[in-house]
Structure 1
């Protein structure tokens, strides 16, 4: 009996743009995640408010270009990847759904372990829950993908105090546990909440990614240049402008507004960031059409091809550096030095991913998720079609 489940895309068939986008945006993921570990007498939006002028400048840069902007781009690429999987399957709709549910299950389990052992702010389980529910959208008509995406985006833009960008809370015991017992007892309560609520914010870019994947927009940019250019210009512009009320406040350029004002500008920061994620993806794909494949480009693309492994590598660094019963540097590092740590961590993953590429090795977690998804002994070496 011939299987209707087609395996992962061969390396030689992969488009440069999406891999380059994933690889580069892992830098933004590192910058976005690491500053939330910092302590201080006053913390706002994950940034200590007692830093130097350099810290304030770095805070503005991260709040403007990074926070709430990188994760939506990954949501888009996640939906895009699901559309690619669906397109390759030749069996029934139910067979495809079961394949995606297996992928969902491994993301949830891996995300739970990741949250318990390394980083409580894990997004893998949230992606798994999103995929578990999102399989019902793979047969939706295009207009419904947009209608639901816009509806949920509008909901997230409503005034409220749930935005992390305006939170005055510092890292809690789940984030910085003093011992293993506290770590497990606190995180087992927090992790399910993040996994269940996270898909709400990721849903709009995921649905847009499904639509874009059906048309292979990121794989065939030459056929969609006008759309990509418009998305890049509009998305990045909206993201930058929409971030300014929060970014200027966090950088202490303007005085902290009232609570009611905060409840307006926080959701604005998040909603504009979702649109910005689409703009970032379009911009990087456009850049990929212009650059030549050199050592740096190939290394960053290799990081994107191993984004799951590289994302987990980052969490190992955060756990070692910030956990109180390990190095405990959350009171020592500043916003600026933490940004340097995040950049260095990303560069290390780029070097390691490039070494794996040269050794024709997929990456351990990419191998794991493919084996479970496709129920085959997928080789640890990238498939090359000749």
Structure 2
């Protein structure tokens, strides 16, 4: 049962689909992040050949702008799952504390409502406390990798903890719609300015990179500054909030927990979502391979990215399947699940490995990297395989991810002692 038991609850069933999806999602994250590391290393790029061009098309249509909305949906799913379990256990705890219940008295409906409301408040506080610590973790990570998203997800959790805990789905839908419209408008304006200024191709964008010397202090300070601005912009003008709310809403259904019950629907969503997401990224793929930038391309690609992320989630859930009677996974599903249950450790480990390859190795050896797009993608796959092996070793020893353990410890120890709320009098 070890493979299906939650680290946060010894009695809660851990469904395989979200964990397997997280494991493969981290491969997509590595593939999406490696161009940033190539840029940070200021490595020279090899002339694009047919393989590089083909990979750019694949990455643009199926990975860029798709992997991080998928990440956000799975984050929202996990957040809602944690809240539901906390409310269920907290409600029982409050009910058991009522006078006379241990002697067999049945709680009144008023007492049940009170217990559930108090447990919901506790869940909201837990999410906010966890989110605050995630912001700190993200700031530390940003000293190495300024495109960190842990802090962004922590900020979103702090801001919207109450809505998620109380399941204010109508408010969430309105805010998500506003963010999507604002995202489209802003990116359209930015695209128009880029076209008017003549910055229309990815080649031209790369040529603007200067060769100024970077010190360790400037690297850290610039990283933190960039991360802070990007975190705020991401919360206001990215698909993270809509994707998070969508993932949280899915946790109150059995679409992901029991995909075997919805094969036809998930197949349609998976293939249709990836297909529509790919169509929406064609103009950006043309730009990425040296073509001009179309004004509406970026806006269209952002929305299509969320649709493509839904397609990825549906197909990965289908691949993982529902819970097994014996609680065991095998083969690649098991390996991916190992990573998915230690997603923070795997995500941060990717940054350490990328930094070793793109920053430490050239600095120590003096060897300048010459990478094409396909070779850089190969490094990303290799990094993911290393995290796969790392998580397999941790699973074999029965250990949670070290960063997950650190986060849980910090959240638990920072809880403030509050006076026990007074229950309503029994009628």
Place the TM-score, normalised by the shorter chain, in its bin: 0.7 to 0.9
TM norm structure 1: 0.84
Matched, 1:112 2:139: yes
Q: Give the equivalent residue in structure 2 for 1:353.
A: 391
Does 2:173 correspond to 1:146? yes
Asked whether the equivalents of residues 7 and 400 of structure 2 are also in contact (C-alpha less than 8 Å), the reply is: no
Q: Is the 8 A contact 1:179 1:325 kept in 2?
A: no
Q: Within 2, Cα distance between the matches of 1:122 and 1:207?
A: 20
Quick one: which of 334, 357, 371 aligns to 1:333? Answer: 371
* Residue-by-residue CA offset, 1:326-371 (whole Å, 9 max, x unaligned): 5677752221111000000101111111111111011100111122
Separation of aligned partners in 2, 1:328 and 1:65: 35
Question: Comparing 80-89 with 218-227, which one deviates more in the overlay?
Answer: 218-227
Distance (whole Å) between structure 1 residues aligned to residue 389 and residue 7 of structure 2: 27
**Quick check: which has more Rg, 1 or 2?**
2
Separation of aligned partners in 2, 1:367 and 1:121: 23
CA contact (8 A) 1:22 1:301 kept: yes
The one of 149, 153, 159 aligned to 1:133: 159
Structure 2 partner of 1:364: 402
Question: What is the CA distance between 1:39 and its match in structure 2?
Answer: 5.0
Q: 1:269, CA displacement in angstroms?
A: 1.2
Match of 1:293 among 322, 326, 329: 329
Residue 284 of structure 1 pairs with residue 316 of structure 2? yes
Which residue, 347, 365, 374 being the options, matches 1:311? 347
Change (3 A) 1:101 1:142: closer
Q: Could you tell me how far 1:171 is from its partner in structure 2?
A: 10
Separation in 1, partners of 2:85, 2:182: 34
- 1:128-175 C-alpha deviation (Å, 9 max, x unpaired): 111111213212443333333233223222313379x97654499999
Look up the match of 1:275. Answer: 307
When normalised by structure 2's length, the TM-score is: 0.76
Structure 1 partner of 2:36? 36
- Once the 2 structures are TM-superposed, how far is the Cα of residue 9 of structure 1 from its aligned partner? 3.8
**CA separation of 1:153 and 1:345: change in aligned 2, threshold 3 A:** same
Q: Are 1:95 and 2:95 an aligned pair?
A: no
Deviation sequence 1:54-84 (CA, Å, 0-9, x none): 2111111111111110110110011111111
Alignment coverage as a number of residue pairs: 360
Q: Distance in 2 between the 1:329 and 1:11 partners? A: 52
Structure-2 residue corresponding to 1:384: none
> Which moved further from structure 2: 46-55 or 65-74?
46-55
**Are the counterparts in 2 of residues 126 and 197 from structure 1 also a CA contact under 8 Å?**
no
Deviations 1:265-302 (A, max 9, x none): 01211210111111111111011128993232211110
Counterpart in the other structure of 2:74? 77
Which moved further from structure 2: 230-239 or 16-25? 230-239
Partner of 2:218: 182
Cα RMSD for the two superposed structures:
3.3
Shift in Å at residue 376 of structure 1?
Answer: 9.4
Kept after mapping to 2: 8 A contact 1:166/1:246? no
Aligned residue runs from structure 1 range 226-265, under 5 A? 226-252=264-290, 255-257=291-293, 261=294, 263-265=295-297
Alpha carbons of structure 1 residues 175 and 287: separation in structure 2 relative to 1, 3 Å = farther
Give distance in 1, aligned partners of 2:405 and 2:212: 31
Q: Which residue of 2 aligns with 1:3?
A: none
Structure 1: runs of 5+ lacking an equivalent: 1-5, 378-386
Q: Partners in 1 of 2:119 and 2:44 — Cα distance?
A: 49
Distance 1:353 1:113 in 2: 22
- Alignment CA distance shift 1:105-1:267 (3 Å): same
Query: 1:321 maps to which residue?
Result: 357
Greater shift after overlay, 226-235 or 17-26? 226-235
